[in-house]
Amino acid sequence: MSTATLNPAPPHVVTSPPGAVRLLAGARRALGEAAATPDALERYAFAHLAALRAAAALLADRARPADARRRRPTSVWTLLERVAPEMQQWAGFFAAGADKRAAAEAGLRSAVTRREADDLMRDADAFVALVETSLGLLAMRSA
């Protein structure tokens, strides 16, 4: 019997910035909150927040500071398209839901259906897992 069978594989080495790892942990917590609430408005808002945090994690890992003279407020989704072109469809998808998230957060009952909230939660979970994978982290699926 070789010693390789007795020794476990070395733990995964995280090379992403600690801020990115914290943002992804926050994304997973937001998904957990989305799954735990029966309220469609809260579920939608938490799921969208999870996607925002995952996008911010990817930006924390890949983005480089811009020239201070050119800084203007920019959407996370716009920045994501620039920094991670492979995420363009996801960025467009979540950007399109930003107004619904704002309406849900404002408590407008007609803003989001239960089905839309459930669908967004699944999509956000898939996006968070994709970001985790792209950062070289093990995707740990929520519920």
pLDDT tens digits, one per residue of 72-93: 768 899 999 999 999 999 999 9
DSSP 73-114: ---HHHHHHHH-GGGHHHHHHHHHTHHHHHHHHTT-GGG--H
Nearest CA to 91 out of 74, 72, 78, 73 is that of 78
pLDDT tens digits, 45-82: 999 999 999 999 999 998 776 655 666 768 899 999 99
Model-level pTM? 0.81
